[in-house]
Structure 1
Amino acid sequence: MPTAPSVTTLLIMMASGARRRVGTTGRGIDYILSPATRALPIEHHIVDHLSLLVEPFRDDVAHLDLGPHLVLAHGERAGAEAEWAANVPSGPRPLRLLVNISAGITARAWPLASYAQVIAAAREVVPSLQLFIMCAPHETARAAELAGMTGGRAVPPRPLRDAFALVATADALFTPDTSIAHAAAAFKVPTVDMLLQGKASQWGLYRAPGINLESPGGTLASLSVRAACDALRAVLYDVESHRTAR
């Protein structure tokens, strides 16, 4: 818990019987830490906070890439590639846009009509894009409704690693702030990540392509469709320019 005091962390560390207990200074439990690492201002990204815990073990932390990193098995990636390739006409591969509509808490829900407008804006940039819509199991009906509104495909919910493989094989992602966005950062998939007010600096995309969007209010419902459309257009223009250059 590098960003706040935690009684649970304190009790676990004491109960462990460990002779060395590494933790961030200034969080209220310095007296049980050996060593206590330096602290960063709270607004720094969570990855930067966590990276300080590496310092007692190595002297080259400044030169390490500590961004998110995921490795897929060959079969996991191949399965996702096959899913994207199914029923696609022969010829140049279309740009793959993955839209995730689920994010765990009500405050991060965004209206289906807003998603539909953003997808329409995406098709202004890439009319032939291939659209997959993913969701948590309890939102399958919502994903199917959006697919019907936009001509996309609602992909069935799947185990987490298979979901990550679908992210890894996409060309671009549009999503509320959730683990799917961090997976995209790990795979360097360009992403528009919609975050709640005040969350982007600590929980947004980390050293990864894309745009962090913050809501002006306490829920994503306050995030304007226009801002989201502009962000996704910008990401897709960049993706298309790189695809054309190749």
Structure 2
Amino acid sequence: MIELTELTKTYGSSTVLDGVSLRIERGGVTSIIGPNGAGKSTMLTIIGRLLASDGGRVTVDGMDVDRAPGREFAKRLSILRQENQFTTRLTVRDLVRFGRYPHSQGRLTAEDHAQVEAALGFLDLVPLAGRFLDELSGGQRQRAYVAMVLCQDTDYVLLDEPLNNLDMKHAVSMMRQIRRAADSLGKTVVVVIHDINFASAYSDRIIAMREGRVAYSGTPAEIMTSEVLLDVFDLEVRVEEVGGARIGVYYR
């Protein structure tokens, strides 16, 4: 379980996270939604220990994020940020191998190589494994970065807007693979996502943030209501049942 207690973050006079207390249970897919500036990515980045908070506490299965040994923490939780830049020219396989660093410290074993090949296969990247990242489409690169994170083989996987640069077809494919990672690999996946309909269709739980606070938390059925979405996004949304999922249709 990931537990946040009175988490705060400010930049100058701007409060980005305002005393957030929250529990994210193990297992399944949890989506974090909300308007721009709600604090979604900041909260995820603090959980992933890529950004220091100004107050409060984060634990992962009881492990204090601020105090845990780096290597042990990296074996428990992995994170993919929105923007990823590599100055070195890498192939897809080279990139995915980075996910094994917490386990091998750069000296890959047979088990590490097996994990690399499994991650490439899971994301359908074997045909692209020898290609350089700058030769790929944005969607292919995004899949490669997700493969790197999965190759780290952690219990918890945090993904910050993994649908960036993806068209509708590839966004659907990515969400299916995220769902499969939770169901088939037993991962606890936490994803920041803008599309409320993807969140509704593929998540077990949804956290809705507004103005640096958790406004609502619950199942897709509990969050995907016209009243909640109006309160969170200040938009009138008609919610309909489509194929067993609750889908929001914006009309103002």
Q: What is the TM-score with the length of structure 2 in the denominator?
A: 0.26
Which has the larger Rg? 1
Q: State the structure with bigger RCO (CA 8 A, min sep 6), 1 or 2.
A: 2
Choose between structure 1 and 2: higher strand proportion: 2
Q: What is the TM-score with the length of structure 1 in the denominator?
A: 0.26
